[in-house]
Structure 1
Amino acid sequence: MTPTIPRSDIDLWSEEVIQAPYAAYRELRDLGPAVWLERYQVYAVTRYDDVYEALHDHDAFASGAGVALNERLNQKMKGSALVSDPPYHDHVRGVMGGPLTPKALRAHREDFQRLADDLIDRLLERGDFDAVVDFAQLFPLSVVPDLLGWPTEGRENFLAWASAGFNALGPMNERAEADIPVLAGMWAFMAEIVQPGRLRAGSWGDDLVAAAQAGTVSKQLLPALIGDYLVPSLDTTVSSLTSAMLLLGRHPEQWRAVREDPALIPNALNEVIRLETPIRALARTVTRDRELSGTVLPAGSRALIVYASANRDERHWDEPETFDVTRANANTHVGFGHGIHGCVGQGLARLEGHALLTALAEKVETIDVGQPEYRVHNTIRAITTLPATLKAST
Structure 2
Amino acid sequence: MPALSQLVALEQEHLRRPADVYAQLRELGVHYAPEVDAFVVARHDDVVHVLRERHTFSSRNTVGRELPPADPSNPSAPLSPLLLLSDDPEHGKRRSIVNRAFTPMRIASWEPQVRRVAAEHVDRLRGLREVDLVRDLAALLPVRVISLVLGVPQQDVARFRAWSEEITRSVGNHGGDPVRREQVQDEFTGYLGRLLDRWDGQVDSSVLSQIAAAERAGELTRRECVRFVAELLVAGNITTTHHLASSVALLASRPELWDRLRAERALVRSFVEESLRLEAPIQGFYRLATADTEIGGVAVPEGSRVFVLYGSANRDDEAWDACPHLKLDRRGAASHLAFGKGAHACIGSSLARLEGRVVVEELLDRVESLELTVPVDELPYGASFINHGPVSVPARLEFRAAAPRSTPRQAPTGG
Scaled to the shorter chain, the TM-score interval is 0.7 to 0.9
The unaligned stretches of length 5 or more in structure 1 are 1-6
- Equivalent position of 1:93 in the other structure: 95
- Equivalent position of 1:226 in the other structure: 229
- Equivalent position of 1:46 in the other structure: 42
Contact 2:52 2:342 in 1 (8 A): yes
Q: Distance in 1 between the 2:226 and 2:315 partners?
A: 36
- Equivalent position of 1:187 in the other structure: 185
1:392 is matched with which residue: 394, 399, 413?
A: 399
Give how far 1:191 is off: 2.8
Contact 1:277 1:335 in 2 (8 A): yes
Alignment partner of 1:31 is 2:28: yes
Q: Distance in 1 between the 2:292 and 2:247 partners?
A: 40
SS in 2 for 1:126: coil
Q: Distance in 1 between the 2:163 and 2:45 partners?
A: 33
The CA deviation string for residues 60-116 of structure 1, in whole angstroms up to 9 with x for no partner, is 1111x2212234588656671111111211111010222111222222111212222
Contact 1:280 1:380 in 2 (8 A): yes
1:209 is matched with which residue: 209, 212, 219?
A: 212
Q: Distance in 1 between the 2:326 and 2:198 partners?
A: 42
The CA deviation string for residues 300-334 of structure 1, in whole angstroms up to 9 with x for no partner, is 11111111111111222233222233322321210
Q: Give the percent of matched residue pairs that are identical in Structure 1 and Structure 2.
A: 29
Alignment partner of 1:325 is 2:324: no
- Equivalent position of 1:3 in the other structure: none
SS in 1 for 2:193: coil
Contact 2:81 2:171 in 1 (8 A): no
Give how far 1:283 is off: 0.6
Give how far 1:272 is off: 0.7
CA 1:166–1:302: 2 relative to 1, 3 Å? farther
Give how far 1:366 is off: 1.9
SS in 2 for 1:384: coil
Contact 1:66 1:74 in 2 (8 A): no
Q: Following superposition of structure 1 onto structure 2, how do residues 29-178 of structure 1 map, counting pairs within 5 Å?
A: 29-32=26-29, 34-63=30-59, 65-72=60-67, 80-150=82-152, 155-163=157-165, 165-166=167-168, 176-178=174-176
Contact 2:81 2:227 in 1 (8 A): yes
Contact 2:148 2:154 in 1 (8 A): no
The CA deviation string for residues 233-284 of structure 1, in whole angstroms up to 9 with x for no partner, is 1111111111111101112222222222211112111111111111121111
Q: Distance in 2 between the 1:360 and 1:277 partners?
A: 21
- Equivalent position of 1:270 in the other structure: 273
User: One-letter code of the match for 1:382?
Assistant: G
User: One-letter code of the match for 2:395?
Assistant: A
User: One-letter code of the match for 1:133?
Assistant: R
CA 1:61–1:113: 2 relative to 1, 3 Å? same
Q: Following superposition of structure 1 onto structure 2, how do residues 285-296 of structure 1 map, counting pairs within 5 Å?
A: 285-296=288-299
Q: Distance in 2 between the 1:143 and 1:220 partners?
A: 24
CA 1:157–1:116: 2 relative to 1, 3 Å? closer
Give how far 1:151 is off: 5.2
Q: Distance in 1 between the 2:69 and 2:286 partners?
A: 10
1:349 is matched with which residue: 352, 360, 368?
A: 352
The CA deviation string for residues 175-224 of structure 1, in whole angstroms up to 9 with x for no partner, is x3126555434433343234254577554224312321221323331121
SS in 2 for 1:374: coil
**TM-score between both structures, scaled by the size of structure 2:** 0.83
Q: Distance in 2 between the 1:91 and 1:150 partners?
A: 24
Q: Which moved more, 1:201-210 or 1:302-311?
A: 201-210
CA RMSD of aligned residues (A): 2.7
User: One-letter code of the match for 2:303?
Assistant: G
Give how far 1:358 is off: 1.6
CA 1:303–1:116: 2 relative to 1, 3 Å? same
Q: Distance in 1 between the 2:322 and 2:240 partners?
A: 25
Give how far 1:299 is off: 1.6
Give how far 1:158 is off: 4.0
CA 1:195–1:334: 2 relative to 1, 3 Å? same
Q: Distance in 2 between the 1:77 and 1:48 partners?
A: 32
Contact 1:368 1:389 in 2 (8 A): yes
Give how far 1:148 is off: 2.4
**TM-score between both structures, scaled by the size of structure 1:** 0.87
- Equivalent position of 1:382 in the other structure: 389
The unaligned stretches of length 5 or more in structure 2 are 71-77, 402-415
SS in 1 for 2:126: helix
Contact 1:169 1:282 in 2 (8 A): no
Q: Distance in 2 between the 1:99 and 1:191 partners?
A: 22
Alignment partner of 1:310 is 2:305: no
SS in 2 for 1:385: coil
User: One-letter code of the match for 1:260?
Assistant: A
Q: Distance in 1 between the 2:177 and 2:302 partners?
A: 32
SS in 1 for 2:54: coil
- Equivalent position of 2:365 in the other structure: 362
Contact 2:81 2:231 in 1 (8 A): no
